[in-house]
Amino acid sequence: MTVRTRFAPSPTGYLHIGGVRTALFNWLLAKRHGGQFILRIDDTDQERHVDEAVGKIVDGFRWLDMLWDEGPEVGGPHGPYYQSQRQHLYREAVDKLIAAGVVYRDYSTDAEREVGREAAKKAKQPYRFRRIEYSDADLKRFEDEGRPFALRFEVPTGRTLVLNDLVKGEVSFNTDEIGDFVIVRPGGQPLYNFASVVDDVEMRITHVVRAEEHLSNTFPQLLVLEALGATPPAFAHVPYVAEPGSHAKMSKRKTEEYEKRGILIFLHQYIERGYLPHALVNYLARLGWSFDDTQELFTRAELIEKFSLGRVNSSPASLDPDKLFWIEGHWMKEAPMEEKVAGAIPFLKAAGLVSDPISDDDRALLEAVILALGDRMKTFSDVVKLGRFFFDDEVAYDPDAVKKRLRKPGVPEMLRELDALLAETEPYDLPTLEKAVHDYAEKSGRKMGDVVNPLRVATTGQGVGPGLYDCLFLVGRDRCRARIAKAIGMLEAGA
């Protein structure tokens, strides 16, 4: 039997990082066994902007390079892949359940149920709906007056249900704890616990891997599965993702607070910051899963080869931005030039530093800058953050660097001498520049650091960055000399 997994987001907001991890586990499991990963849109609620939201979701998956074998835009033999378009299947399943005698018409009103809930609350007991017995006459009257009714599943009491969860292990649940639940609303809308089961069966899903908040929901679903006469899929409930440095669950309500603390919880935020797709995938795979006691870095192929649900932890894991960043740095180092160039261009364009489309000259400069930046480039956006001065003729001086390296006695005089040096360096290339600066330091009796650092700040505006000679060369003789002049002017005006 081929393994079939699915990820079924509701098209409401953006993709949450925890959801991405759940999807990744599903994807890895399917790929590990040469099976299929299915994307299904749980839109029973019929939100307004479904198309737009689905577009963002599929873009996200494409960015992650987690392609789905069946689902929106690609179709498949078990479509449609939108719950809102599968009404006929739910109708069929409802008929089956009616024939099996496990569902009934519930004519209760909001007010009636509210009374029950209040009573339960007062008695400090959990509220559980049980079938209200009506006389035949009442039933006939309700029917005649067309009173709306919901379809409820009649839960058999006194049974113990056992689930062998692939992550949590054996979990038992008594059906006395489950109230009769609605499977279809009066308006005909099927509800999650029912629709999702019907879809999983029809789509031949073999492994349901989802967030642990669904663990309790699994038991009513098991009842539906049984009544449908279907073989239940295997279940695996993965723990939630907690906030950095704590075990508190991440909450959508705290989005603003996270924003302030610099915690990224939505996929699009990582895309916007210039993260490498595979770095995120590697990090998320290791969040709650491990292969052994040492390996942290995995290629995509290794992940697929080594993933297993048995090694998914049963306790929550908290997001660690520092570790993600470390993994990001590793994979960025490994990334081929071509990928770095392609990844950086959008950020340069957005900053207005290159034209759209990028010119051949700028592309060549970009490659040289990426080479010079080396492993200082951690994310694609770093090209702008650390290398702006290569592309922009204007230079902005970092006040701290100026204070530390330029506002020192004798610096303007030295900069004049260095300007003269650059003017006559011939040819203006790396080895010649390096020799010239070395000779200058020696002749003037200065330490290299006392020459190099002020010169770096004067020509780049920054105290940190690539090697000085790379900077001097790539910025070019004319721009270097203009910047030195500007720095001297600034120092003399400020002194």
Bridge-based pairing of strands 317-318 and 241-242 is parallel
Name the one residue in this structure whose structure tokens are 């995938």. Answer: 281
Q: Candidates 184-192, 261-269, 343-351, 478-486 — which segment interacts with RNA by CB under 7 A? A: 184-192
Bridge-based pairing of strands 207-211 and 181-184 is unpaired
Instruction: Find all residues with CB under 8 Å of 101, minimum gap 6, and list them.
Output: none
Render 248-290 in DSSP notation, one character per residue.
Answer: PBP-GGGHHHHHHHT---BHHHHHHTT--HHHHHHHHHHSSB-
Tell me if 326 contacts RNA by CB under 7 A.
yes
The answer to whether the Cα torsion of 446, 447, 452, 457 is positive or negative is: negative
How far, CA to CA in Å, does 255 sit from each of 14, 247, 324?
12, 17, 20
Instruction: Find all residues with CB under 8 Å of 71, minimum gap 6, and list them.
Output: 38, 39, 40, 41, 81
Q: Which 221-250 positions form the footprint of RNA (CB under 7 A)?
A: 239-240, 242, 244-249
Tell me if 282 contacts RNA by CB under 7 A.
no
Tell me if 293 contacts RNA by CB under 7 A.
yes
Length of the chain: 495
Q: Candidates 117-125, 225-233, 299-307, 350-358 — which segment interacts with RNA by CB under 7 A? A: 117-125
Tell me if 23 contacts RNA by CB under 7 A.
no
Out of 126, 399, 431, 494, the only residue in the binding site for RNA (CB under 7 A) is 126
| Cis check: omega of the bond before 427, within 30 degrees of 0 | yes
Q: Which of 60/465 has CB closer to RNA?
A: 465
Is the Cβ–Cβ distance between 448 and 441 less than 8 Å? Answer: yes
Tell me if 114 contacts RNA by CB under 7 A.
no
Could you give the CA distance from residue 244 to residue 476 in angstroms, rounded to a whole number? Answer: 44
Out of 3, 50, 161, 171, the only residue in the binding site for RNA (CB under 7 A) is 171
Cβ at position 187, least distance to RNA in Å: 7
β-bridge mates for residue 237, sequence order: 210
Q: Which 351-390 positions form the footprint of RNA (CB under 7 A)?
A: 374-376
> From the candidates 31, 124, 168, 252, which is the catalytic residue?
252
Tell me if 38 contacts RNA by CB under 7 A.
no
Q: CA neighbours within 13 Å on the CB side: how many for 53?
A: 17
Tell me if 217 contacts RNA by CB under 7 A.
yes
Tokens matching residue 326: 């470390």
Cβ at position 186, least distance to RNA in Å: 5
Cβ at position 45, least distance to RNA in Å: 5
Q: Candidates 23-31, 225-233, 327-335, 351-359 — which segment interacts with RNA by CB under 7 A? A: 327-335
Closest to 32 in 3D by CA, of 291, 278, 292: 291
Tell me if 467 contacts RNA by CB under 7 A.
yes
Tell me if 128 contacts RNA by CB under 7 A.
yes
Q: Candidates 67-75, 134-142, 309-317, 351-359 — which segment interacts with RNA by CB under 7 A? A: 309-317
Name the one residue in this structure whose structure tokens are 């099996």. Answer: 100
Amino acid at 255: T
Tell me if 85 contacts RNA by CB under 7 A.
no
Q: Which 188-207 positions form the footprint of RNA (CB under 7 A)?
A: 189, 191-193, 196
- Residue 445 is classified by DSSP as T
Cβ at position 461, least distance to RNA in Å: 12
Q: Candidates 208-216, 349-357, 389-397, 421-429 — which segment interacts with RNA by CB under 7 A? A: 208-216
**Residue 260 a catalytic site member:** no
Render 191-213 in DSSP notation, one character per residue.
Answer: PHHHHHHHHHHHTT--EEEEEGG
Cβ at position 270, least distance to RNA in Å: 16
Cβ at position 415, least distance to RNA in Å: 15
Tell me if 410 contacts RNA by CB under 7 A.
no
Out of 3, 10, 204, 302, the only residue in the binding site for RNA (CB under 7 A) is 10
Q: Which 136-155 positions form the footprint of RNA (CB under 7 A)?
A: 150
Out of 282, 465, 473, 484, the only residue in the binding site for RNA (CB under 7 A) is 465
Q: At what angle do helices 382-391 and 468-475 cross, to 10 degrees?
A: 50
Catalytic positions:
252
